[in-house]
Amino acid sequence: MTDPSSIDVVAPNLKKRLSGVTSTVVRLVPVQKRMIGIVTTGPGLPPELPHIPLSRAATLPRDRWRVWHARRNTEMALGLIYRRILGRKYKLLFTSAAQRQHTGFTRWLIRQQDALIATSPQAASYLERPAKVILHGVDTEIFHPTTDKTALRRELGLDPEAVLIGCFGRVRAQKGVDLLVEAALRLFPTRPKAQLIFTGRITADNRAFTDQLLNRIADAGLIDRIRFLGELPWAEVVRHYQALDLFAAPARWEGFGLTPLEAMACGVPVVAARVGAYETLIRDGVTGSLVAKDDADALTAAVERWLDDDAGRAEAGRTAREHVFSNHSIEEEARSIVEVYRGLLA
């Protein structure tokens, strides 16, 4: 059992299924625990993370202040309940990734916080109060190029000879999955080595959307070259990044969007829409390409450029890895957040 005297920060996660917010907690806490006393609380987290039950988070001693670091509305609300109703001594911190006008209830919750973090300048612009901008980073020891891509692909059941494109995340229109399928349908008939894989959960409300895409793929005779692999364990997702030649993130909307950084850390160039923080993360023409959102023609042209340039793709992958290592390490993200914690606790 964790000694309460060692807990400086509680990072809640109030969602059972894997999501971008959950993966942020999973990535950051192991790094942050080397810097400060931090625990998680809530469902859906791996057992190796430092963790206390929600009931214990509600009954920690009132001997000193601790930080409650929320990343969702529900977590902000629970922090308020713990502080105002149960009298726990929590300093309230909220990280916002959203790039849209917040609802009235969310704005009210945000006003109750002691401090704010935004994951990009764009997200900060939608907050009504000053926020510290801290970009997400990735663990470059976990996300790194493979030493033998051919062997890895064989282990994963992927074609060792393919020029392999990937798109990872939940399968839905918001992610631009249909735009990427359209690009593949246009390009693949004249490029027999090109293949495309999607990983990510298909929810019931997106089943019809996915079935329509599968019907188009089947009608084009490309069912073996454009595949939906479903939701994979986290370690397998990392291995699939390492197996790629090109990553695509054609989202129509994105809060931050971590997948391009993860791909680039694995030495894979990225084609992405100009949404979320992608313009901050990707060096257009150097580590990949940026295209207008919801533009199938521009996406097709960018994918075509990298599909047809083996040497350029390899060079962009090497540069992408160096770019992430130098500018977007998870250690720097963790340190910056811990500085906010220490400021609240001072």
pLDDT at 18: 64
Instruction: Please determine, looking at this structure, whether the domain spanning 4-137+329-345 carries the CATH number 3.40.50.2000.
Output: yes
Nearest C-alpha neighbor of 87 from the set 66, 58, 113:
58
For 117-169, what is each residue's pLDDT tens digit?
999 888 899 998 999 999 989 999 999 999 999 999 999 999 999 999 999 99
| 285 pLDDT more than 80 | yes
Domain ranges of the chain: 4-137+329-345, 149-327
- Tokens of residue 268, six digits: 């894979």
H/E element, 273: strand 270-273
H/E element, 183: helix 177-187
| 316 pLDDT more than 90 | yes
pLDDT at 235: 86
User: Coil, strand or helix: which one is 41?
Assistant: strand
Q: Mean pLDDT throughout 66-81?
A: 97
pLDDT at 113: 98
| 256 pLDDT more than 80 | no
Look-up: residue for tokens 């308020």? 80
How would CATH label the architecture of 149-327? Answer: 3-Layer(aba) Sandwich (3.40)
| 327 pLDDT more than 70 | yes
pLDDT at 1: 67
Same fold, 4-137+329-345 and 149-327: yes
CB of 82 closer than 8 Å to CB of 74:
no
Most distant CA pair in the chain: distance in Å?
69
How many angstroms separate the CA atoms of 119 and 99, rounded? Answer: 10
Q: Mean pLDDT throughout 267-280?
A: 92
State the pTM of this model: 0.81
**In terms of residues, how long is the chain?**
346
How many angstroms separate the CA atoms of 207 and 89, rounded? Answer: 45
Range name among 22-31, 50-59, 215-224 with the lowest pLDDT average: 22-31
For 218-249, what is each residue's pLDDT tens digit?
999 999 999 999 999 888 999 999 999 999 99
Give the whole-number percent of the chain exceeding pLDDT 70.
Answer: 99
What residues contact residue 77 under an 8 Å CB cut-off, 6+ apart?
109
pLDDT at 252: 94
pLDDT at 24: 87
Range name among 21-25, 160-164, 188-192 with the lowest pLDDT average: 21-25
Nearest C-alpha neighbor of 268 from the set 238, 298, 294, 293:
238
pLDDT band at 15 (very low <50, low <70, confident <90, very high): confident
Q: Tell me, what amino acid is at 274?
A: R
Task: Measure Cα distances from 179 to 193, 236, 300 in Å.
Answer: 20, 25, 9
What residues contact residue 213 under an 8 Å CB cut-off, 6+ apart?
177, 178, 181
pLDDT at 16: 76
User: Coil, strand or helix: which one is 228?
Assistant: strand
For 37-46, what is each residue's pLDDT tens digit?
999 999 988 8
pLDDT at 132: 97
**Angle CA 148–153–289, to nearest 5:** 85
Q: Mean pLDDT throughout 271-286?
A: 91
How many angstroms separate the CA atoms of 48 and 337, rounded? Answer: 21
How many angstroms separate the CA atoms of 12 and 43, rounded? Answer: 9
pLDDT at 266: 98
Q: Is the dihedral of CA 146, 250, 124, 76 positive or negative?
A: negative
pLDDT at 304: 98
